[in-house]
Structure 1
Amino acid sequence: MPQLKNSLIFVAAASVGALSLAGCSTMGGTPAAGGTASAGGAQAKTAAVIKGLDNPFFQSMEEGIKAADGSITVQAAQDITDTSGQADRLSSLAGQDYNCFIINPISGNNLLQGLAQVKAAGKTVVNIDSPVDPKAATAANATPDTYIGTDNVSAGKLAGEQMAKLVKGGEKVAVIGGIAGDVTSGDRVSGFTEGLAGKAKVLETVSADWDRQVALTKAGDLLRSNPDIKGFFVANDVMGLGVARAVANAGMTGKVAIISVDGVPEGLKGVESGELTATVAQYPYAIGEMGAQACKAAAAGQKLPASVEAPVALVTKDNVGEALKAAPAPFAPYENPFKK
């Protein structure tokens, strides 16, 4: 896939069952103040259940939801392991008078019971970012009406293609993944390897649990055992900044390329400062905004597409100024089927 400096690269959400995103969480929520009138006179009274608001990715997602409709109730799980707590929040909301639900599940099946209740009541479900397992959803009669998200394989591929420009043939590149076995992390890593196209020697993936401190420790260990590492691919920006600290501690800043994924504000600032070489920016703000707009469209009687692509962009020193200026929104136009 070609690299674009000043425009977004769009990727299809091609395999709903293959996408997910890990993150840390705290509970959050704002009560709904009433519905939003749609063009057809219907009311879109919406509730959202997302991952944790201590993670900047999901903070940005909430911002996008609220920008589209400030009356939406937003609740979040306590942390990345709080699958039952997140499910309880949805189940509690499901019995109330909302007609549309935006969901960002921790796992592919932890919200199925609540979703089945929502769908049995004939309400709309908009699945964003982390998909519900399609087979389990079908079995539970809990299939969402639409899915909005990015393709993590393609995001990883952008990072791999960029790394291939920065290293010489045969040089060592380390990979720091999220939680072992996590689909999002695996997709990003496999996409990275594909994009790198054999240009470098890729070391075995090390899991750092989506945690900055763990990534710092693991990267430090890798640098001590492989002082000739020339690059790191890191599955999210938070861990990427931990890796950057390990590289700095080793006195190797500027000598080791670090490319991560997410494009959260702190990650963009890391690119600006030179701590990170690049980040593949996803846009949780746009994903959240489109989720809210999908609920409005459904209330207006519009048929929702089965899946919607979300934008990603490679951000480097060359275009980070544009990205920061527009943050948390995308810095270039992108296709949004719900905007009209």
Structure 2
Amino acid sequence: MKKQLILLMALLATVMLSACSVKPGFSLEPSFGTSATSTKGSSDTLTIGLSISTLNNPFFVTLSENAEAKARELGVNTTIVDAQDNASKQASDIEDLIQQNVDLIIINPVDSVAVATAVESANALNIPVITVDRSSEGGEVVSHIASDNVAGGKLAGEYITELIGEGAKVVELEGVAGSSAARDRGQGFNEAVTGILDVVAKQTANFNRSEGLTVMENILQSNPDVTAVFAHNDEMALGAQEAISASGKKIVVVGFDATDDAVAAVKAGNLAATVAQKPDEIGKIAMETAIAYLNGETVEEVIPVNLDLITK
């Protein structure tokens, strides 16, 4: 009987120990940890994707570097991809960022119309999108951060008119067809000069310096009496100026962006002026806006960045 009692007590002890045992990593105490949803609001775990139209342009290099620097300052991870001015590649890049499950994507579109499908893909998976410098023609965007490109185009047109007088013949070098920056800068310029100046040629050079050189060479052959050029960005303006210098002509050239090369050219008297956007500010503000939104703060749908006209 005594032996049976000892066996029974041992059996009861084993059962109680089994019931009280806990697997590693678990606790019997109630858990109040951060959920997956609230983790997105914690800046030390955020990953933000940044899709840039091209890193072959100093303007966008400055924008991306400052966005990345602000992210590091705030303890946020970034993944930066370069579309190389190719709308199809940008769509693929954004799809890759979506597959990586980034918390938010900042997009500088190659083509404002073409990028809409990629924005909609991000929307479908609840990944918020912010656009910078150029807008998207479709999908839902949390915020758009850019200079007022229409106002900048007007500023350039008014300054050119001031320099060369009414009735003079001018050329407009256009940016990438379909980009909001090209459309808006062209709109502002033409609003300022229509009926005042004679725009004898409009041709795209795709925001590219070498294309600006080639296009301007061809235009000068058919329009030797041109007196001014408005280029939608500094890269095209600098390319056009190379062609003009080689021709031996004196032609007023105004660019847009105020890149370091363009500002130096203005100081040297090679460019008449450049409309100064502030890519460093755009990059910083975009990253600050992204983090604020992910932390549950309300952000403005459109955030303008001031413009200046840089002259000698």
Q: TM-score, normalised by structure 1?
A: 0.72
Give the % identical residues. Answer: 30
In structure 2, the partner of 1:20 is none
In structure 2, the partner of 1:291 is 286
In structure 2, the partner of 1:127 is 131
Contact 1:44 1:295 in 2 (8 A): no
Q: Deviations over 1:151-201 (max 9, x none)?
A: 322111000111111012222122222345654323322311222353322
Instruction: Tell me which of 79, 84, 88 is aligned to 2:84.
Output: 79
**How far apart are the structure 2 equivalents of 1:224 and 1:294?**
48
Cα gap change, 1:143 to 1:200, in 2 (>3 Å): same
RMSD: 2.5
Q: Deviations over 1:71-100 (max 9, x none)?
A: 44232234222x232222222222335322
**How far apart are the structure 2 equivalents of 1:109 and 1:205?**
21
Give the alignment of 1:88-167 within 5 angstroms.
88-112=92-116, 114-134=118-138, 142-167=139-164
**How far apart are the structure 1 equivalents of 2:62 and 2:48?**
18
Contact 2:134 2:180 in 1 (8 A): no
Query: Would you say 1:264 and 2:259 are equivalent positions?
Result: yes
* Larger of the two Rg values belongs to structure: 2
Question: Larger relative contact order (C-alpha < 8 A, sep ≥ 6)?
Answer: 1
SS of corresponding position for 2:305: strand
SS of corresponding position for 1:229: coil
**Aligned AA for 1:297?**
A
Cα gap change, 1:108 to 1:232, in 2 (>3 Å): closer
SS of corresponding position for 2:85: coil
**How far apart are the structure 2 equivalents of 1:45 and 1:182?**
27
**How far apart are the structure 1 equivalents of 2:179 and 2:101?**
35
**Aligned AA for 2:69?**
A
Query: Would you say 1:202 and 2:199 are equivalent positions?
Result: yes
**How far apart are the structure 2 equivalents of 1:133 and 1:181?**
10
Gaps of 5+ in 1: 1-36, 135-141, 318-340
Contact 1:42 1:299 in 2 (8 A): no
> Per-residue deviation at 1:43?
4.7
Query: Would you say 1:243 and 2:240 are equivalent positions?
Result: yes
Cα gap change, 1:159 to 1:119, in 2 (>3 Å): same
**How far apart are the structure 1 equivalents of 2:165 and 2:268?**
24
Contact 1:50 1:74 in 2 (8 A): no
Number of matched pairs: 271
Contact 1:38 1:297 in 2 (8 A): no
**How far apart are the structure 2 equivalents of 1:45 and 1:248?**
47
**Aligned AA for 1:131?**
S
SS of corresponding position for 1:69: helix
Contact 1:167 1:199 in 2 (8 A): no
Cα gap change, 1:302 to 1:51, in 2 (>3 Å): same
**How far apart are the structure 1 equivalents of 2:44 and 2:77?**
15
In structure 2, the partner of 1:18 is none
Instruction: Tell me which of 218, 221, 235 is aligned to 2:218.
Output: 221
In structure 2, the partner of 1:56 is 58
SS of corresponding position for 1:188: helix
SS of corresponding position for 2:201: coil
SS of corresponding position for 2:307: strand
Instruction: Tell me which of 230, 249, 254 is aligned to 1:233.
Output: 230
> Per-residue deviation at 1:271?
0.9
Cα gap change, 1:89 to 1:224, in 2 (>3 Å): closer
Q: Deviations over 1:102-150 (max 9, x none)?
A: 122222354445544533443332222221213xxxxxxx411111112
Contact 1:163 1:231 in 2 (8 A): yes
Cα gap change, 1:196 to 1:114, in 2 (>3 Å): closer
> Per-residue deviation at 1:45?
2.9
In structure 1, the partner of 2:34 is none
